[in-house]
Chain A
Amino acid sequence: MLRVGMVGVGVMGTAHLEGWAATPARIVGYVALDEQRAQAMAQKYGGRVYDSLDEMLPDVDVVDICTPTYLHREMTLQAAAAGKHVICEKPLSLTVSGAQEMIDACERAGVHLLVGHVVRFFNEYALAKATVDSGEIGRVAVTRLKRVNFQPRHAADNWFLDPAKSGGMILDLMIHDFDYARWVAGEVESVFARSVRTVDPNAAGDYCLAILRHKNGALTHVEGGWVYPPPMFLTGFEIAGERGLIEHPAGSSVPVGVHLMESQLRDLPAVGVPAAPLAESPYVTEIKHFYDVLTGAIETPRVTARDGLEAVKIGLAVIRSAQTGRSVRIEEVA
């Protein structure tokens, strides 16, 4: 019986818990800043609340880290030192060296390090990737990826808005599409980007337009932002290949329309998470996959720790490009 310890019970932690509940794994413990919320989760999913990660480690086989990004490195090292598998939310770390340290520690300890690049588990993204891999549209030429939502709005400690804690919008949000671009079109060679907050940290919103050049000559355009009026969250993609085109325009696959006379803004979530009515949420699919990897049913995870590291590199290169106004090669941030 795989024993799971949750660290963090925020938006992502909650999504992961739903996933674990759909596996044979047992959720044995929680460590969280918000103890009240952790208690509520324990009520719902079983297990108990621990005072610290150290205290919880002896009782678990895998630690699921859904904490703010700046805590990922330290917690992963701690878990690896105890010989525990790690599931870590994206981005893997705020720095290349941090991510590398995490990978090395998990390798030395002989434990898995699985990164929550959940977009790879979204049906539409996985289907497009499979379509590209089938050769149906030939060699990928120009890909366009879009992910724009509203600014995260936590009542207290809005760590998302502190670049020292989250890496900012580029590292926190756009990293999904950096990972996807690399998955679909191959290794990235260089990037060029312009963004609002990298040059004006006090701007009300954040928006970035990035161009990636892949080693095989393919190009990817990535649009990201915490800038839309709440509760709007749009994602979309377009993949143009030598022999065909895949389109998934933003907002085009919303199957249910709800239009009310009175605004329901009071139910606004703290952080935008794209939603689609499916029999199984992508977060559940992701956790089920991780479960299969951890129990040996699947040998190679759909997203590796190195994928997580490479996405961080692209993100940091994009930030540096936006700061310096020049093209940045990936090696420069390695």
Chain B
Amino acid sequence: MRLAIMSVAHLHADGYINNLRAVPDVEFLGIADDDLARGQAFAEQHCTRLYESYDALLADKPDGVLVCSENARHLPLVLQAAEAGVHILCEKPLATTVEDCRTMIDACERAGVKLMTAFPMRFSPPVIEAKRVVDSGALGRIYGCNTTNQGSCPKDSRAWFVDKELAGGGAVMDHTVHLTDLLRWYLNSEVVEVFAETNAILYADATDEVETGGLISLLFDNGVFATIDCSWSKPKYYPTWGGLAMEIVGEGGFTTVDAFRQKITVYSHDRGRPVYKPWGSDADQGLINEFVASIREDRVPSITGYDGLKATEVVVAAYRSAETGQVVRLPLE
């Protein structure tokens, strides 16, 4: 199987290339990027081929591509790949608008190619273990879920994360979709109401365009409520980039999962501050493996474009709620 990456704008591309190379019998072809300097730097760093254009990359007939462009630029690349008959794993959020998501899903359906949304946390062993507890019914009736996906502002890794046009927003756009997707998956229910409050006090020196703090309240069709803290509340010098945690509370008890708790803390004279080094399993590898497997077995991937759309819909609703102060009902018109 031959795979490639279209755009390395998203910092996850740095990890994905290693994941791709780790899959047996997968040939990694190379990358293309509309930002030549960015593409060159990436190609050099990872010793891979830089195609001169997306067309050139697609002309090489890969079986599948990863789309890792800026959030608002997923659409053109997905359409281009679909037209070339290439299966697609698209970075999250699938798009910054529900319309873009729908256009992508329709185009992939017409072209008969797979569209998978990159929600790697579904492959995190701690997240899977907690889902097993939920599925066992031991919690009884579930009341609510208190969840966090906080981080430091990713501007230093990629400046476009605080560019409202390219990113589609700030912390809410960056950090809401993972937990929305996990909650839909855990609860087997759809979000029917969204309320959100945002502010821009954190990292005020890094951006005046996008929100850096956000608290979102969700109500699911089955009556369960949840909150998501998507804030960029971790300082730059925090021991790690951030984290993802959930507490699921029910009549029969509660379960907690901290997806990045498996780490060692390292203090070194050179660094002058502690850092966490993770030793847990790499969830991204599970994501890439599933994409490859879905192509090999010619089946629908476990996470679809529709899952990406439903997560984006919550983000769009959250922005609408934060703007109006009102609860926003889903599905959106």
Whether A209 contacts B231 by the Cβ 8 Å rule is no
Q: CB-CB contacts of A230-250 with B at 8 A, as 1s and 0s?
A: 000000001011101100000
Main secondary structure of the interface of B (DSSP, over half): strand
Chain B residue numbers with a CB within 8 Å of A205 are: 143, 249, 251
Query: How distant is the Cα of A255 from the Cα of B288 in the complex, in angstroms?
Result: 43
Within 8 A of A (CB), among B218-275: 219, 225-227, 229, 231, 233-235, 238, 249, 251, 253-254
| Residue ID in chain A nearest B202 by CB atoms | A141
Enumerate chain A residues within 8 angstroms of B227, measured Cβ to Cβ.
209, 211, 221, 223
Tally of chain A residues near chain B (CB < 8 A) = 38
Interface centre among A148, A218, A242 (most CB of B within 10 A): A242
Known contacts: A141-B201, A209-B225, A211-B227. The answer to whether A238 contacts B233 by CB under 8 A is yes
A245-B204 CB under 8 A given contacts A219-B197, A219-B215, A228-B254: no
Known contacts A194-B225, A326-B326, A141 near B249 by CB under 8 Å: no
Interface residue tally of chain B, by bracket? 35 or more
- Check A242 against B202 for contact (C-beta < 8 Å): yes
The answer to whether A327 and B199 touch (CB under 8 A), given A142-B213, A192-B217, is no
Q: Is A333 part of the binding interface, using a Cβ–Cβ cutoff of 8 Å?
A: no
Residues of A within 8 A of B226 (CB): 209
Decide if B253 touches A242 in the complex (CB within 8 Å): no
Q: Which residues of B contact A209 (CB under 8 A)?
A: 144, 146, 217, 225-227
- Shortest CB distance B98–A (Å): 23
The proximity string for B residues 146-179 relative to A, scoring 1 for CB distances below 8 Å and 0 otherwise, is 1010100000000000000000000000000000
Which residues of A have CB within 8 Å of B229? 142, 144, 221
B201 touches A139 (CB 8 A): yes
- B231 touching A141 by the CB < 8 A rule? yes
Q: Which residues from chain B sit less than 8 Å from chain A, CB to CB? A: 141, 143-144, 146, 148, 150, 193, 195, 197-199, 201-202, 204, 212-215, 217, 219, 225-227, 229, 231, 233-235, 238, 249, 251, 253-254, 325-327
**14 more CB-based (< 8 A) A-B contacts, given A141-B233, A209-B226, A326-B326:** A140-B201, A141-B199, A192-B197, A194-B217, A203-B251, A205-B249, A211-B227, A219-B213, A221-B227, A227-B249, A228-B254, A240-B234, A242-B204, A326-B327
Binding site for B on A (CB under 8 A): 139-142, 144, 146, 148, 190, 192-194, 196, 203-205, 207-209, 211, 213, 217-219, 221, 223, 225, 227-229, 238, 240-242, 244-245, 325-327
Q: Which 9 A-B pairs have the closest CB atoms?
A: A240-B233, A141-B201, A194-B225, A207-B143, A142-B213, A209-B227, A141-B202, A142-B231, A211-B215
Q: List 17 A-B contacts (CB under 8 A).
A: A140-B201, A142-B229, A142-B233, A148-B249, A192-B217, A196-B144, A205-B249, A207-B143, A218-B199, A219-B214, A221-B227, A221-B229, A227-B249, A228-B254, A245-B233, A245-B235, A327-B326
